[in-house]
Amino acid sequence: MALFGPSGTGRHYVTVLRHPALLDCVEEALRLRQPRRARYLRSDLGRDSTYDVTASPLEGVAAGGVVLSFADISDREQAGQIRRDFVANVSHELKTPLTALMGFIETLRGPARDDAAARERFLDIMAREAERMNRLVSDLLSLSRVEAEERMRPGARVDVAALLRTSVQTLRSLARGAGVEMTLEGAEEATHVLGDEDQLTQVFHNLIENGIKYGGSGGVLRLVLTRSERELAFRGPGVRIDVIDRGEGFDPVHIPRLTERFYRVDSHRSREMGGTGLGLAIVKHIVNRHRGRFRIDSVPGEGSTFSVMLPMA
């Protein structure tokens, strides 16, 4: 009734089902008196659903009829599609640097064999490509671990203010090299959340490095820690960490997809910067594990703000 509506009661099944695969399934079950299976696809309110349908012949009093059972396998099909897309993306991301390495190796064995200057230049490029593959594999392993633990909320008390101070100190030399002045506000007092120290450090490092690489044109990167007795996201005490740059920014149309694996606003620039396209996906999953919220705001020409909100311990 839910699938085909109440108006089908008493009508011939051909006028109700109106789906070639289902009709063939029913007719084969009637003719052969054996169970038959089919796949039924349906689209409701913009959501595609997939059903595994079994047509089983009835025996006894109801002999000559067929009962149809519909099993909703939409989630399984979606997971399978995500897995296939993921494998395709990984293959593509690895193929580009591998192709470059193979090309340079062939050149070094041939035309550039005795050209010292070309050899040095090619070796530098090969080293960068190998390092990019290494970062990609590391990020893939990290994302896999985070996803495996996402349902298990961490229970250790962690001082996020101290983690921010350490992250800023660690990455200050990277900021100087990019000509970026980095400031930290509101992290003087201890601020505790229930969390995983290593994973939260990874979140802060990813966001700060992104701010330096892609927002560095603004020359300033601000980190602001704010405490709230009633954070709207949790309806209770919370802490908010904003990473604010004054770079080029980007069109807000990209924001809903930025945390997807391998999604990039500017693919060429991201690869030139050494990005793997997985950083924000890792951030999102870690923040979810901590029962927090992750928000992105950007205005073209004015900069971007990446915000992490966590419930306080």
Q: What is the residue-level pLDDT of the chain in tens, covering all 313 positions?
A: 567 766 667 778 788 888 888 889 988 988 888 899 998 888 765 567 888 999 998 876 556 788 888 888 888 887 777 777 777 777 777 887 888 888 888 888 887 788 888 888 888 888 888 888 888 888 888 888 888 788 888 989 999 999 999 999 999 999 999 999 999 999 999 999 999 999 999 999 999 999 998 887 778 999 999 998 877 677 788 999 999 999 888 888 999 998 988 887 776 666 666 567 888 999 999 999 999 999 999 999 899 999 999 998 7
Residue 152 and residue 289 in contact, taking contact as beta carbons nearer than 8 Å: yes
Which residues are bridge partners to 228 per DSSP?
238
- State the pTM of this model: 0.68
Residue 180 and residue 216 in contact, taking contact as beta carbons nearer than 8 Å: yes
- C-alpha pair distances (Å), 162 with each of 188, 190, 197, 200, 224: 8, 7, 10, 11, 13
State how far the Cα of 31 lies from the Cα of 163, in Å rounded to an integer: 70
State how far the Cα of 239 lies from the Cα of 225, in Å rounded to an integer: 7
Q: What confidence score (pLDDT) does residue 199 get?
A: 94
State how far the Cα of 30 lies from the Cα of 66, in Å rounded to an integer: 7
In the block, residue with structure tokens 């169970």:
35
Using left for φ > 0, alpha for ψ between -120 and 50, and beta otherwise, residue 32 falls in alpha
